[in-house]
Amino acid sequence: MRIAILTGGGDCPGLNAAIRAIVKKGIKVYQDRIFGYHNGWAGPINDDIGEIALSDVSGLLPRGGTILGTSRTNPFKIDNGLNIIKGNMEKHEIDVLVAIGGEDTLGVAAKLAREGVKIIGIPKTIDNDLTGTVYTFGFDTAVSIITEAIDRLHTTAESHQRVMVLEVMGRHAGWLAVTGGIAGGADLILVPEEEFNIDDVCQSLKNRHEKGKTFSIVVVAEGARSRDKDGLVTIDKSRDAFGHVKLGGIGHELGKRIEERTGFETRVTVLGHVQRGGTPTAFDRVLATRYGIGAIDGAHNNQLGKMVSLRGNRITYVSLNTVTRGLKTIDSELLDIAKVFFE
Ligand code: F6P
């Protein structure tokens, strides 16, 4: 078979591990020829493709980012995008396209599958908000980075008796904030799923300090909203090809309001793209490898139009349409656990 791979949307640790797994099993076991489209959906649109040899994936397992490059190109925003992709795939006689991405990339994949394109999806995003799978790879690595950041903030918060606000990613879902927050022992965690009330936030910090604590750590997801303010806090007004605004700034806004209302000296850290960079954890390396193997096996076992998914501890396949049924927000059970430690 002739298999092509693309990586779309925000990058994350584990993408290269998944590519490596597809290439290794495809060439060694199935005698496939494997190709890579460059820069997400821009690749099949611009016919930007290259063959991947076994030697190209050597040493790739621990490397962050993606050797194929990525973009937020939306082929359905491009004139005749669907037919251009079909034509370019035919030109190179691509039998199956493996699309590795989050809600946007796999949303496009689902649409293409409905239009007859032979495609398999692999779920990735540090946000872990994709419906149809328990975990996306990239998430565990980002949680480890958040946990380490909170550990580091603890010691300086304690020394200076300060409130430390940590802004983390998480556009629509608070998986990163709540999981990293629990792991790091955050004193307050604010997520997109529950609007927060600034009076409650300040009261909770005051309660803590009245009980003798001299510092606090607040983790806030970039997509969290305050009940008394309209909309999300964004960097500017621009939108990408999928209509997303650039989130960012809630941490600074929150820090300012906390300091004004409580009088506690407050500092803000925005973790940003540090969460998406660098080497994947062991968990993400293994998960990405299992997904890659699942995708190449699926290409040979008629799992077209499906996404590789983790259910319990087993790799399985779900329809790509699953990802278009809305995002997977956090379990209230997890948030309840986090709340046990708030004051
Ligand atoms: O898609 C995951 C994500 O990490 C979001 O949490 C975040 O809002 C977005 O990517 C930022 O992406 P970029 O700045 O790379 O466009």
pLDDT in tens, 66-104: 999 999 999 999 999 999 999 999 999 999 999 999 999
* Predicted structure pTM score: 0.96
Q: What is the pLDDT of residue 329?
A: 97
Q: How far apart are CA 270 and CA 251, in angstroms?
A: 7
Q: Does residue 232 carry a pLDDT above 90? A: no
Provide the token pair at 66.
């993606």
As given in the structure block, the two tokens for residue 83 are 């037919």
Supply 115's token pair.
Answer: 């239009």
* Most distant pair of Cα atoms in the chain: their distance: 70
Report the pLDDT value the prediction gives residue 11, as an integer from 0 to 100: 98
Average pLDDT of the segment spanning 37-54:
98
- Residue 229: the pLDDT is 85
pLDDT score, position 297: 98
> What is the whole-number distance in angstroms between the Cα of residue 343 and the centre of ligand 1?
31
Nearest-Å Rg of the Cα atoms of the chain is 21
Q: Report helix, strand and coil shares of the chain as percent, to nearest 5.
A: 40, 20, 35
Residue 302 has pLDDT above 90, yes or no: yes
Asked, colleague to colleague, whether 2-138+280-325 and 142-277 share their fold, the answer is yes
pLDDT > 90? residue 201: yes
Angle between helix 332-339 and 175-184 (nearest 10)? 30
Q: At CA 142, angle to CA 182 and CA 36, rounded to 5?
A: 155
Residue nearest to atom 12 of ligand 1 (CA): 10
What number is the average pLDDT over the span 214-218? Answer: 98
Q: Which residues pair with 3 in a beta bridge?
A: 34, 96
Q: Is the CB of 172 within 6 Å of ligand 1? A: no
Confidence class for position 159, pLDDT limits 50, 70, 90: very high
Please state which architecture CATH assigns to domain 142-277: 3-Layer(aba) Sandwich (3.40)
Pocket test for ligand 1, best of 11, 106, 171, 233 (most atoms within 8 A of CB): 171
Hey, what are 196's tokens? 């927060």
The ranges assigned to domains in the chain are 2-138+280-325, 142-277
- With pLDDT > 90 as the criterion, what percentage of the chain qualifies? 93
> For this structure, is 127 an active site residue?
yes
Q: Are strands 119-123 and 306-311 parallel, antiparallel or unpaired?
A: parallel
Give 270 Cα–ligand 1 centroid separation in angstroms. 13
pLDDT of 333 > 90? The answer is yes
Residues 11, 104, 127, 140: which is the catalytic one?
127
Nearest to 154 by CA among 181, 192, 136, 179: 181
CATH number of the domain at 2-138+280-325, out of 3.30.70.1450, 3.40.50.450, 2.30.30.40, 3.30.300.130? 3.40.50.450
Atom number of ligand 1 nearest to Cα 9: 1
Segment 124-142 shows an average pLDDT of 97
Residue 230 has pLDDT above 90, yes or no: no
Q: What spacing in Å lies between the alpha carbon of 171 and ligand 1's midpoint?
A: 7
For residue 236, pLDDT over 90 is answered with no
Distance 148 CA to ligand 1 centre (A): 20
**Could you read off the pLDDT of 10-20 as tens digits, one per residue?**
999 999 999 99
Q: Is the pLDDT of residue 4 over 90?
A: yes
Q: How far apart (Å, rounded) are the C-alpha atoms in residues 107 and 12?
A: 18
Q: Are residues 309 and 105 in contact, defined by beta-carbon separation less than 8 angstroms?
A: no
Residue from 105, 127, 136, 167 to probe ligand 1 pocket by mutation (most atoms less than 8 Å from CB):
127
268 burial level (CB within 10 Å; 0-12, 13-18, 19+): buried
Determine contact, residues 43/100, Cβ cutoff 8 Å. no
**Could you please report the per-residue DSSP string of 112-133?**
HHHTT--EEEEEB-TT---TT-
Contact 193, 335 (CB under 8 A): yes
| Residue 12 near residue 106, CB atoms below 8 Å | no
